[in-house]
Amino acid sequence: MPQAKQFRLAEIADLLGAKLEGDGDIIISGLSPLSSAGEGQLSFLSNPTYTSQLANCQASAVILAEKSANSFSGNRLIAQNPYVTFAYATQLFAREDAVVAGIHPTASIAASATLAEDVSIEANVVIGEGATIGAGSRIGAGAFIGRDCQLGESVRIHPNVVLYHDVTLGDRVIIHSTSVIGADGFGFAFDGERSVKIAQLGGVRIGNDVEIGAASTIDRGAMLDTIIGDGVKIDNQVQIGHNCVIGKHTIICGCAALAGSVTVGEYCIFGGGSGAVGHITVADRVQVSAMALLSKSVTEAGMISSGTLASPTPEWKRNALRFQQLDSIAKRLKNLESKADS
């Protein structure tokens, strides 16, 4: 196990650009939520709902906003945005495996591939003809990098990821295990009897600072490319159809699915399990609720939902059966209103 990391509190304050109030010499060796933090641990208060937990909090120090400073009597790191400062703090304590630059002897690398000098290529990796791997990048065990893929600098590909041919990744892209980028889009022309395959001739272009979770799939374009903008964050088991264009900094939560040719704006959030039918456009800063389905374009920022609320099944069933009569109910109501008016 890599040695657990340790920092003096003053050192952390310095690294995070936070104002230290208290004893800078105490040693911090990890992070924990307010309710479970103990000796040697740093915690944070971001959501004011939890302010009351500060009273009994056993953390050795807490990151919090100026306005909440008086609510905690222990060591404090004062930050403008405590949640963001906490995020940077987690990065200090990350215990990734040491990256050893070099190429594992079991890797199969095409002669025409171009690898920066300090890359790390792990066991059983396969890299195709003409592929380029940028400086500081790390390709996890069993990953497959197809022909002519271009990976930027400091890219992190986790084990068993597959990139089909002609996939381009920017710098600092992270792709988690078993995700597949660039498989054929789902395109067929029906000839009346059977489905004729439409060869998928486009590629996939992914910007800088994109993170893609585990077991997600982003299909290559049919003729043009599928495009994922800078800073987009995609969770696990997300499906992005061919020729989607996802705007910068959009967030797509787990199990969400976009059909083909969906154009999504910047700073959108697709909730878990949400979806969009094909060929629609979604404006900037649209937020789609969990398991909601967009079946037409959304032209303005705002939150969108569909579905019904959960209830005990017998109650739900009575209401769901009535849903089947809803048009008739509306008409009967209108009829009664006419009578009442006459």
Minimum gap (Å) between residue 314 Cβ and its own copies: 8
Among positions 60-79, residues that touch its own copies (CB under 8 A) are none
Contact pick of 148, 153, 154, 281 for its own copies (by CB under 8 A): 148
Phi, psi angle pair for 105, to nearest 5°: -60, -20
242 has catalytic annotation: yes
Q: Which helix (H) or strand (E) holds 246?
A: strand 245-246
209 and 230 Cβ atoms separated by less than 8 Å: yes
Return d(Cα 291, Cα 255) in angstroms, integer.
Answer: 9
The token duo for 47 is 């959501």
Annotated active-site residue in 165, 242, 249, 279? 242
Among positions 161-220, residues that touch its own copies (CB under 8 A) are 162, 164-165, 176-178, 180, 183-184, 186-201, 209, 211, 213-217, 219
Return d(Cα 217, Cα 255) in angstroms, integer.
Answer: 10
309 binds its own copies (CB under 8 A): yes
Residue nearer to its own copies on the CB measure, 85 or 137: 85
273 binds its own copies (CB under 8 A): yes
Contact pick of 133, 239, 245, 264 for its own copies (by CB under 8 A): 239
Residue nearer to its own copies on the CB measure, 38 or 70: 38
285 binds its own copies (CB under 8 A): no
147 binds its own copies (CB under 8 A): yes
Helix or strand or coil: residue 121?
A: strand
The token duo for 183 is 């498989």
Q: What angle do CA 228, 173, 107 make, to 5 degrees?
A: 120
Residue nearer to its own copies on the CB measure, 23 or 333: 333
Minimum gap (Å) between residue 197 Cβ and its own copies: 7
Residue nearer to its own copies on the CB measure, 135 or 277: 277
Contact pick of 17, 27, 97, 101 for its own copies (by CB under 8 A): 97
Q: What DSSP string describes 186-230?
A: --EEE-SSSEEE------EEE-TT-EE-TT-EEPPPSSS-EEE-T
104 binds its own copies (CB under 8 A): yes
49 binds its own copies (CB under 8 A): no
Sequence-distant (≥ 6) Cβ neighbours of residue 44 within 8 angstroms: 31, 34, 62, 63, 64, 82, 83, 85, 86, 89
The token duo for 225 is 């490319």
101 binds its own copies (CB under 8 A): no
The residues that are catalytic are 242
